Structure 1
């Protein structure tokens, strides 16, 4: 059943995420929360009281939930139920991207609906996976806004989430325009100031220095009050909120230089002779202020372009979604937008086309290129009943598919959302950088003050001029902008790289933790094995039941189960033309099997623990046959009728070809690989021996896996758990890193920190190598960020002057500061070409 609830207390996208996560944490619930309107659409297995929903929300924040009523024409208030056929509401299209279905003008698109100017056809709206653009701060990714603007913490320009190319280009184009204006006015100021170094200074023949100072002032106004004014706004914001950052130093340094110059221009007589040139004018620093600001603006411009490159993985994923699909209704086919596809629709996929939504093949066969999602280059053969994913590419055959997941439910949409979320999350190492920044700025200001005092007292004449210039140089070169970029840039690129390789990372913390793992726990079915079990044989050991009788009862019980082993027996029953009989009182006993009633017969199908649970007797002959099959690595389920086991089914699940090599690779890196399985001891031992595992534990229930992981963690081990089933979810949540197989259940994927799209253990080795490279990259970035500061501050303060006569101009300091940011950006982008295979 599905119901709609009204949510109050949400004010931003972060709130929406918290509410959705809280609701989905309740057993038996699947919730989708929207901000506009503020409501939750909740699908539940059985009705759950609103009080329980409210309890979950109260634990997450000041949110409230109430059942939403909808008025019918009779004004009777009724509870809103969502049926299987959604009601479409006609709305006037006012935004979006439109294109001609005939592509008369190639890839040309329009920003409003209308007619193609060439052929006259109605323009179609191009569907997007993410309709609304949101914005975040590159240094404080927890900040999320529906509108562009400045970060309330540090004042930086918010950047678009989700790799929105159009919005990113707008940010870049705005900065580029401002940079051009700043450059146009800064260059003349710089040339005027530097002309004093030319013998016989030719420009002084046109005007005296005091008039050229007024020209510099005039040229500086567009630079300070238009092109770079946002830096001073950010500096002020950082001071009043006491969130000191790079803009605090830039604002103080450049602002003091400009204001000093203005006062010197207007009131030269208030300054002592030390501040005056041989022309009688006071030294002005318009060129230092404008050059510094222009160089900082250049750094911001480069960062804006770099953000576009770091989001390239998301952009490529967005391009995978096709615009249209071919829908079959009756014996007619029509081309529809993917936004109009509904669950249950039949879609024809032609050779070379992209698969529009997630679903399964209804008729036909195909060879699908899944490399864009799984990262594996070899095309995969698909037949009737096999699953296909949106964005993958059909080969040279035509097939009809059944749409099962559409819109935000598709794998492609979930990948994009996960990459977006991970890209804006903080790694624990970022906390160290934030802490350094918090102390760094006040310390730098103090160093600048001390520098001024020391130079004023002990410096050569004009000592106050030296004191002023060196203090500004200290403020500028110490700017920690590169420190703020060091971690987020590496995380963004690393998460994108992982997505392109079929490794979906939920947050930056898991990316960092993966580097510290020393034990890997793996499940058997669907993790080590292919998860495609098949029945080898059905055996009867009771004269009252032949093999067909045993199979009939197995099929009847498993018809109500979703377990992969159950599906294998149903396929076997279908092949043997077994009619499915209705079962009553069906119950799945977690980790043991299933029970139910067929007519008057009490049936139980499962492992030895289930037989003990229902008190079913297993005779010696049956026990011997079962153990013989289990020692060969087979999975065996007993069938009990009443209080006696009458037969069994032997099921085999082939070990994945890649499992042995992947496990060996992990062991070579010093990791211990241990298998936890609910299967019996003999089967587990056979699989463990084949793969040379470091250990195994058999017959484990979900709580047993959970407790064993807690035990390992209690010994100081950092544990990664890989699994694919609902029964793995508690262990995945408990482990330091939960790794879900993309071929598994939604519950397992939701509980995990990392998802392997292909469901291959090789992905664990790839994820660990990616983590290692990202952490190395972050440390390199921190070196670049702090190295310039540590080396530059003493030079800017004049430490080398007494011995070598070296001083650092504020303009050179600004160049060095910008170069540190460029170094961080370039180092981060190296991850795009890193090999993790």
Structure 2
């Protein structure tokens, strides 16, 4: 007997979903919830409980605060969102109030702390359970489905589709038979009998199979957000209920509306077949849409389920990932995934970081190196210490950023929204006009032609193709970018980046490695080299600037102890000052010395000589007097020269803007062959961006530090290097996971591919509707005698949405 089995209580327990009595030893599934084990009679009941535990376990509200908070921290939460309107968010299943689509589940593991369903056309529609978008009627889809579970909306549509197909096939066979030279059931009595058979077969198809469409259509009327399902409900409902009246109350129709044998034409078969075809389209669309979130699922799949923890006694044991806490020592064996972010304490290995950075070459790791959760260990084994867990890991932040980007709306979407707002009323008006024209001016039987063509107009129109054109491409494009180490914060940045003509970037950490090292310590006469470095490093320890880190690291490597600094003050664009061991210490550039009235004296000449060698020089003052110089070198990245060349070839104007001095900046710029601005303060960087924008330029700014944040926010597109600070990433629209200029080129290509795809989708959607509606109305009939059958109209309408999604899915294979 296993431990789990020994803990199962004896006796009978009620299934919390259906109330059925269950023997815990024979339960189909067992779940832990609110600190208790719950037992289910079937997997179906367990699935329902997972989607909405609060509905079946109200006692959860009675938990003590501590228990409730503990549970909330470890459990996933369900939200439902509209895939067309991600801003629509609900905690129960339903339809999007804007487009009528079913809300879909957004599933994120417990470590990422939420499960959401969104509408792809309306990002504002967000729900915690499956359903349809109340705006457009589309099924909400999960931002990511855990464990490969099938979307419940897709499962329901498939069931309705297959039942509808089984009942519609005899109707389709009859329709085809009527086109033969000697049609079946031509005798009046046989025809009347077959009418009743049609009614019996079509009724469950229309009323049960098409129930979601009628529900969404009704919701669209209540919320005054007319959409595709309004048209489908009107079209099939008109054909079906007209046929019901004709079948049950034939005497209501005058003789002029009857056929040669006195019978009244009915349209059960087109109504049923239309429902079956629309269901087929929904199944295909849901399947295709589920692939758009494959990037999120792939990212979520990077996180391992367990971690191997080493306790204080040196014993190792596997624990669930959500049980890992900061400070835990974890063993990572060869071939295993790194569980969380942390620092390597013992051992060495090569780690495959391609799934995070997009770079295929494994990175060597040794003691002191940082490792990222979700990356794959190579052949070595190492011990690491966890310092970021749960929602704070890099992987969780990437998933969160990609999810937000996929729910955002691009400015180009406004065009589709504007057209869609008038589209459905215009189609209904066109259908009414079609009915009137055919009824009064069409050939006999006039009523039959009027009904059939009006229904065809209602059915053929597809506002969803317009609505899906942009969000589907955005979802796939942002997912593709994540796989290449390019994180898009919002769709607007993705759209604008294609149009950018000027790229400004910082030097430190952007074109250079961003890992400067201390290379020179030059004290003036009367000052000791070690004492000078010790005082400067103690002061710089309070700063997060890369140069400060280099000085602190250099002092530590030389074995110096660093006393605490008090009164620390950072002077933007100049340097820092404070008190260390009773002495007032200042470290920065000449501007800082002028601000503090310190005479640099002979330091100027020495500083210029060091700068001409490419070193960044920091002047040190102690108690109001010049004390010495510190030189820091930051080598140019190996990839920077190639990246700059390719960026130039793409038509971008490049300019390096740095707070470093002119001599050092010139040394770097000459190697890259670009223009530069030096001695630029942070507020001046944003002013440079504004000046370029005033001249009509569309500017992108790339940087990695706090001092870059104002310029990143001012630029049309801000690009944060992933190795930089959180402030820079928050201000940017694009983040490069690996701080590499080649990532900017990948981001630009991604923007170009995505916008081209959106334009293709919108063009197809506009052309389809512009041609489909007039043809369905019968515009070709006077010349060619052609009419569009409502059945064919339903097929083309369904496949129009699928084709838009399929085209968007091509972005998954885009070569960046």
TM-score interval (norm. to shorter): 0.7 to 0.9
2:420 aligned with 1:437 = yes
Q: Which of 220, 237, 244 is the equivalent residue of 2:226?
A: 244
SS of the residue aligned with 1:417?
helix
Q: Which of 592, 605, 618 is the equivalent residue of 1:624?
A: 605
The 2-side partners of 1:465 and 1:499 are apart by: 54
Q: Is the 8 Å Cα contact of residues 313 and 500 (structure 1) preserved in structure 2?
A: yes
Q: Is the 8 Å Cα contact of residues 557 and 583 (structure 1) preserved in structure 2?
A: yes
Partner of 1:484: 467
The 2-side partners of 1:131 and 1:536 are apart by: 46
Q: Is the 8 Å Cα contact of residues 127 and 337 (structure 1) preserved in structure 2?
A: no
2:589 aligned with 1:633 = no
Q: What displacement does 1:559 show? A: 2.9
Partner of 1:420: 403
Partner of 1:554: 536
The 1-side partners of 2:76 and 2:598 are apart by: 65
Question: What is the 5 A alignment of 1:25-40?
Answer: none
SS of the residue aligned with 1:730?
helix
The 1-side partners of 2:425 and 2:272 are apart by: 24
Q: What displacement does 1:826 show? A: 1.5
The 1-side partners of 2:184 and 2:196 are apart by: 18
The 2-side partners of 1:340 and 1:798 are apart by: 66
Count of paired positions: 723
Q: Which of 635, 651, 662 is the equivalent residue of 2:643?
A: 662
The 1-side partners of 2:550 and 2:783 are apart by: 83
Higher alpha-carbon deviation: 151-160 or 697-706 = 151-160
Partner of 1:406: 389
When residues 93 and 394 of structure 1 are mapped into structure 2, their CA distance, relative to the original with a 3 A threshold, is closer
The 2-side partners of 1:823 and 1:151 are apart by: 21
SS of the residue aligned with 2:412?
helix
Q: Which of 620, 625, 628 is the equivalent residue of 1:644?
A: 625
Q: Is the 8 Å Cα contact of residues 165 and 308 (structure 1) preserved in structure 2?
A: no
When residues 564 and 305 of structure 1 are mapped into structure 2, their CA distance, relative to the original with a 3 A threshold, is same
Q: Is the 8 Å Cα contact of residues 137 and 156 (structure 1) preserved in structure 2?
A: yes
Q: Which of 753, 774, 792 is the equivalent residue of 1:812?
A: 792
Partner of 1:353: 336
Partner of 1:77: none
When residues 583 and 793 of structure 1 are mapped into structure 2, their CA distance, relative to the original with a 3 A threshold, is closer
Higher alpha-carbon deviation: 179-188 or 595-604 = 595-604
Partner of 1:715: 695
Question: What is the 5 A alignment of 1:270-669?
Answer: 270-332=252-314, 333-540=316-523, 542-619=524-601, 621-669=602-650
The 1-side partners of 2:467 and 2:76 are apart by: 34
2:676 aligned with 1:686 = no
Q: Is the 8 Å Cα contact of residues 345 and 367 (structure 2) preserved in structure 1?
A: yes
The 2-side partners of 1:734 and 1:96 are apart by: 37
Q: What displacement does 1:498 show? A: 0.5
The 1-side partners of 2:327 and 2:393 are apart by: 14
Partner of 1:751: 731
When residues 443 and 169 of structure 1 are mapped into structure 2, their CA distance, relative to the original with a 3 A threshold, is closer
When residues 197 and 581 of structure 1 are mapped into structure 2, their CA distance, relative to the original with a 3 A threshold, is closer
TM (norm. structure 2) is 0.85
> For residues 504-527 of structure 1, what are the alpha-carbon distances to aligned partners after superposition, in whole Å with 9 as ceiling and x for unaligned?
111111111111111111111111
Q: Which of 659, 668, 676 is the equivalent residue of 2:657?
A: 676
SS of the residue aligned with 2:510?
helix
When residues 729 and 95 of structure 1 are mapped into structure 2, their CA distance, relative to the original with a 3 A threshold, is closer
The 1-side partners of 2:529 and 2:695 are apart by: 49
Q: What displacement does 1:464 show? A: 2.7
Gaps of 5+ in 1: 1-35, 37-72, 74-79, 81-85, 98-125
Partner of 1:826: 806
Q: What displacement does 1:95 show? A: 8.0
> For residues 713-766 of structure 1, what are the alpha-carbon distances to aligned partners after superposition, in whole Å with 9 as ceiling and x for unaligned?
222221111111112122212211111111111111112111100111111111
SS of the residue aligned with 1:208?
helix
Q: Which of 203, 224, 233 is the equivalent residue of 2:206?
A: 224
The 2-side partners of 1:180 and 1:513 are apart by: 44
Q: What displacement does 1:680 show? A: 0.8
Q: Is the 8 Å Cα contact of residues 188 and 263 (structure 2) preserved in structure 1?
A: no
When residues 587 and 679 of structure 1 are mapped into structure 2, their CA distance, relative to the original with a 3 A threshold, is same
Partner of 2:87: none
Q: What displacement does 1:376 show? A: 0.8
SS of the residue aligned with 1:526?
coil
Q: What displacement does 1:298 show? A: 1.1
Q: Is the 8 Å Cα contact of residues 795 and 807 (structure 1) preserved in structure 2?
A: yes
Q: Is the 8 Å Cα contact of residues 154 and 237 (structure 1) preserved in structure 2?
A: no
Q: Is the 8 Å Cα contact of residues 129 and 318 (structure 1) preserved in structure 2?
A: no
Gaps of 5+ in 2: 1-33, 35-63, 78-107
Higher alpha-carbon deviation: 591-600 or 811-820 = 591-600
> For residues 336-380 of structure 1, what are the alpha-carbon distances to aligned partners after superposition, in whole Å with 9 as ceiling and x for unaligned?
222111112222222111111111112232211000111110011
Higher alpha-carbon deviation: 266-275 or 490-499 = 266-275
> For residues 368-405 of structure 1, what are the alpha-carbon distances to aligned partners after superposition, in whole Å with 9 as ceiling and x for unaligned?
10001111100111222222110001111122212111
TM (norm. structure 1) is 0.83
SS of the residue aligned with 1:738?
strand
2:746 aligned with 1:766 = yes
Higher alpha-carbon deviation: 389-398 or 594-603 = 594-603
Q: What displacement does 1:825 show? A: 1.8
> For residues 263-291 of structure 1, what are the alpha-carbon distances to aligned partners after superposition, in whole Å with 9 as ceiling and x for unaligned?
11112122234432333211011111111
When residues 365 and 88 of structure 1 are mapped into structure 2, their CA distance, relative to the original with a 3 A threshold, is farther
Q: Is the 8 Å Cα contact of residues 304 and 339 (structure 2) preserved in structure 1?
A: yes
Q: Is the 8 Å Cα contact of residues 640 and 740 (structure 2) preserved in structure 1?
A: yes
Q: Is the 8 Å Cα contact of residues 632 and 683 (structure 1) preserved in structure 2?
A: yes
Higher alpha-carbon deviation: 241-250 or 593-602 = 593-602
Q: Is the 8 Å Cα contact of residues 127 and 323 (structure 1) preserved in structure 2?
A: no
The 2-side partners of 1:168 and 1:557 are apart by: 57
The 2-side partners of 1:274 and 1:665 are apart by: 75
Partner of 1:114: none
Q: What displacement does 1:157 show? A: 2.5
